């Protein structure tokens, strides 16, 4: 069974009528079932979408937000995840760019 560890990067994809992408870094383990996280800023990478409705992003590992927070680790069928809020869950990032709605097309 896969587990989360310090410095792992998590990503979340959420939204209604638009796709938002957030990235988080595991700062430390808190006991056996909790982790402390910090949100990372994202940066745009080359976009392959010819209509420019999507933007490809990756985490900017050099730019963390200040606030850390704790979340319980849940075990999914394939990998662990955390619930950031009632509408957002974050999973271990696969290292590939994520696609979000371009800011010109979202709300």
Q: What is the pTM of this model?
A: 0.88
**Degrees to nearest 5, angle at CA 13 with 92 and 40:** 65
Do 23 and 10 touch, CB atoms closer than 8 A? yes
Tell me which DSSP letter residue 93 carries.
-
Nearest residue to 101 via CA among 45, 46, 42, 21: 21
User: End-to-end CA distance of the chain, in Å?
Assistant: 39
- The pair of structure tokens assigned to 3 is 């587990």
pLDDT (tens, 9 = 90+) of the chain, 107 residues, equals 678 999 999 999 888 778 889 999 999 999 989 999 999 999 988 766 556 777 888 999 999 999 999 999 999 888 899 999 999 999 999 999 988 876 666 65
Do 77 and 37 touch, CB atoms closer than 8 A? no
From CA 59, how far away is CA 40, in angstroms rounded? 6
The residue count for the chain: 107
């Amino acid at each position: 069974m896969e587990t989360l560890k310090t410095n792992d990067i998590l990503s979340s994809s959420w939204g209604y009528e638009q796709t938002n992408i957030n990235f988080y870094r595991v700062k430390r383990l808190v006991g056996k079932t909790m982790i402390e996280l910090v949100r990372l800023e994202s940066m745009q990478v080359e976009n392959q979408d010819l209509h420019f409705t999507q933007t490809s992003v990756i985490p900017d590992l050099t730019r963390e937000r200040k606030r850390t927070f704790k979340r319980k680790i849940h075990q999914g069928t394939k990998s662990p995840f955390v619930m950031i809020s009632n509408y957002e869950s974050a999973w271990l990032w696969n290292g590939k760019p994520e696609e979000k709605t371009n800011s010109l097309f979202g709300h």
